[in-house]
Chain A
Amino acid sequence: AQTVTQSQPEMSVQEAETVTLSCTYDTSESDYYLFWYKQPPSRQMILVIRQEAYKQQNATENRFSVNFQKAAKSFSLKISDSQLGDAAMYFCAYRRAYSGAGSYQLTFGKGTKLSVIP
């Protein structure tokens, strides 16, 4: 079974600074996706960034980027120029790649609560 571990229950960052959230995972599969989701108090899970395991290039989305180390099974999220609106719970998640019928559940870590200090 796949597992996802986030070792930082809480993090804080000064506004306009950079912060990195850590995530490690365990899987025996070779083709999969990794995600970072943001969950504000409104509770809706919002996709921040996605990484395909077969791609060596790290994904980036504006101020968000990842450091994907496949051999080490590590997937960290870097938020640059942090803004007050970035404050939320952040979840790392794993899903196997699509290959036809079957379960495509997302396996989540326990989350990291990010606070942004003005």
Chain B
Amino acid sequence: EAGVAQSPRYKIIEKRQSVAFWCNPISGHATLYWYQQILGQGPKLLIQFQNNGVVDDSQLPKDRFSAERLKGVDSTLKIQPAKLEDSAVYLCASSHFRRGSDYGYTFGSGTRLTVV
């Protein structure tokens, strides 16, 4: 099966500019996640979608970050305006859980954002 697709692979922007990342999950995976991985740390969840509804966005800085998942498939994560501390790798993942079966996560290759 095809993996989780993300674009762009790299992005360099100036502070206060806006940026958007795109993710296409594995077909049929109802749950989609965006993680932020700052250099030297493990990934941290920003938002979890179940189909096109938000399940957990408790760690999303809502004053500057937004995300949507149209029609329960593709998702876009936006930062506006960007700050220097937003420099990180943004990982998208998808999963398909059901009781008695755990299919785990599949991660994309991420977008490396550098804010200068």
A residues sitting closer than 8 Å to B (CB atoms) are: 4, 33, 35, 42-47, 50, 91, 93, 97-106, 108-111
| Interchain nearest-CB distance for B110 vs A (Å) | 4
Main secondary structure of the interface of B (DSSP, over half): strand
Residues of B within 8 A of A (CB): 31, 33, 35, 40-45, 48, 50, 55-56, 89, 91, 93, 95, 97-99, 102, 104-105, 107-110, 112
Residues of B within 8 A of A102 (CB): 55-56
Q: A98-B98, A100-B99 are contacts. A110–B110 as well, Cβ < 8 Å?
A: no
B110 to A104, Cβ gap below 8 A?
Answer: no
> Which of B40, B91, B104 meets A47, CB within 8 Å?
B104
Is A106 a contact partner of B109 (Cβ separation < 8 A)?
no
How far, in whole Å, are A43 and B105 apart by their CA atoms in the complex?
Answer: 15
Q: Which of B41, B45, B107, B109 contacts A105 (CB 8 A)?
A: B45
B residues in contact with A46, CB < 8 Å: 107
Considering the complex, give the chain A residue whose CB is closest to the CB of B3.
Answer: A44
Nearest CB of chain A from residue B80's CB, rounded to whole Å: 24
For B109, the closest partner residue in chain A by CB is A44
Chain A residues whose CB sits within 8 angstroms of the CB of B97 once the complex forms: 98, 104
Are A43 and B55 closer than 8 Å at their CB atoms?
Answer: no
* Given A93-B42, A104-B48, A111-B41: A43 touches B95 (CB 8 Å cut-off): no
Name the A residues within 8 Å of B109 (CB-CB). 42-44
Closest residue of B by beta carbon distance from A99: B99
A50, A98, A105, A110: the one within 8 Å of B48 (CB) = A105
Known contacts A43-B89, A43-B110, A44-B110; is-contact A103 B48 (Cβ 8 Å): yes
The reply to whether A45 and B43 form a contact with Cβ atoms under 8 Å apart is yes
Quick check: B42 and A43 within 8 Å, CB to CB?
Answer: no
